[in-house]
Amino acid sequence: MEYLKQAAPRPAGEAEARARSVAGIIQSIRDRGDEALIEYNTKFDGSSRTALRVTREEIDRACARMTRQELDDLRRAADHIRSFALAQKGCLTELSGFSTIPGAELGHRVIPVDSCGCYVPGGSYPLFSTALMLIIPARAAGVKRIAACAPAVKGTSSIHYKTLAAMDLAGADEIYTVGGAQAIAALAWGTEQIQPVDVIVGPGNQYVAEAKRQCFGQVGIDFFAGPSEVLAIADSSADPRILAADMLAQSEHDPMAKGILITTSRSLGEAVLQAAQEQLSALSTADIARASWDTFGEVILADSLDEAADLANQIAPEHLEVILQDESILPRLVNFGSLFIGQETGEVFGDYASGTNHTLPTVRAARYTGGVWVGTFLKVCTWQRCQSAAMREIAPLAARMAHGEGLEAHARAAELRLELL
């Protein structure tokens, strides 16, 4: 293995100070509710809004600003996302009638959570596609109450009109103009205007991620999201211009984003480095993309495709592209948020419109979880029913095991059934 371009280590940052700051925000929301929420909205976003829930009139005005093409595009992307979410839900079937012994019936139910909060970040761009990616799977799962929130555009009191239109089209029941750690706290603990939810999903900055970490337990969460990532495994058959474009597509998200190419072809790696610099010179988002690519971009020359696969599994990227003539390593690739196979399969397609979800695990979380999907909003809950014959077979077994653990009340609960029933 050889680095043709090696990334700088990501700085640890001021995690402790950030954690204390977020803890203070959460406590303020718990103690003072809307009063604190409105203060933070003003402090961080310059919003003077006091009624946080977006009205139907505001939504209609936002939709009226959209062009016909923009609305058609949203609807088409939404249809793809919805179709895939429903197909995934169809894989989660309920189980009944399973028996371990005669007279015992076991099963499970697939039950949607009652409510969820979908956090759509603002920041540098109006990420309206994220509204589709969060709200549509929740609706497909059957969640009864979907609350969505996003920060106001800086210096205004309104969510970006494209984001607002997407939230409504996706099927949000409630939309609130609030962002940052304070939004996560409000969704988790509730305020006078915002009722608490059961699950919170969605990406955000480091303060949003820290707030989700601290609120986990009070609510469920999807995962702790970090800066965006893409890793491509490619051989000499790949077009370096396409690979460079895919690297920069992630780099423009955030100065901390990371693009990685692993290749067995030195000439391809060198060509991608050159193409990236050429494309940066013509990119309107070059300030962010260059900061990210120059600092955290990486090009690795692997000795073999097997080594490339091992490296990819160690890195466990958010997005994994495979552009190879020989795709035999595909079964070996097991740690990724979403996989894009072949040069025609742009990672950007998954970002917007192919149908898979773009809210994916980062910073190696793909080792233990996938991305947001319809199952994020579903609980698989077991049940059982025993008739007399089954009870008489299981009760002595359970009682002996309980005695073995020293849990006498457990044992007695089994033995009493034998005595009384």
Task: Give the model confidence (pLDDT) of 15-41 as tens digits.
Answer: 889 999 999 999 999 999 999 999 999
Q: Which of 187, 205, 221 is a domain's end point?
A: 221
Q: Decide: helix, strand or coil at residue 302.
A: coil
What pLDDT was estimated at residue 20?
95
Mean pLDDT of 255-274: 96
> Does 310 share its domain with 208?
no
Domain CATH code at residue 252: 3.40.50.1980
Mean pLDDT of 368-396: 97
% of the chain residues with pLDDT over 90: 93
- Could you say which of 179, 195, 221 is where a domain stops? 221
Number of domains in the chain: 3
Please report the pLDDT score of residue 282 as a whole number: 92
Asked if residue 280 has pLDDT above 80, the reply is yes
Q: What strands, in cross-sheet order, belong to the sheet with 199-201?
A: 174-177, 145-150, 115-119, 199-201, 220-221
Q: Are residues 307 and 231 in the same domain?
A: yes
Catalytic positions: 318-319
Identify whether residues 48 and 167 lie together within a single domain. yes
39 domain-assigned: yes
Q: Are residues 359 and 245 in the same domain?
A: yes
Q: Which residue range forms the structural domain that includes residue 147?
A: 21-93+113-221
Mean pLDDT computed over 93-98: 95
Residues 179, 44 share a domain: yes
pLDDT of residue 39: 96
User: Same domain for 152 and 25?
Assistant: yes
153 and 189, same domain (yes or no): yes
Alpha carbons 188 and 211: distance in angstroms, whole number? 10
Q: In what order do the strands lie in the sheet with 2-5?
A: 2-5, 298-301, 258-263, 229-234, 319-323, 338-341
Q: Please report whether residue 284 resides in a domain.
A: yes
Q: Residue 53 class from Cβ within 10 Å (0-12 exposed, 13-18 middle, 19+ buried)?
A: middle
Nearest to 77 by CA among 175, 203, 169: 169
- Residue 79 shares a structural domain with residue 215: yes
Co-location of 139 and 125 in the same domain: yes
Whether 132 contacts 82, CB under 8 Å: no
In a domain, 16, yes or no: no
The pTM (predicted TM-score) of the whole model is: 0.95
The answer to the question of residue 3 being in a domain is no
Residue 48's nearest CA partner among 129, 183, 154 is: 154
Q: Confidence band (pLDDT; 50, 70, 90) for 314?
A: very high
Q: Is there a single domain that holds both residue 279 and residue 182?
A: no
**Which alpha helices (H) appear in 234-356, and where do they start and end?**
240-251, 266-280, 286-296, 305-315, 347-352
Q: Is residue 108 part of a domain?
A: no
Find the helix packing angle between 266-280 and 286-296, rounded to 10°.
150
Q: What is the pLDDT of residues 98-107, one digit of tens each?
A: 999 999 999 9
**pLDDT tops 90 at residue 122:** no
- Domain boundary among the residues 192, 221, 250 is at 221
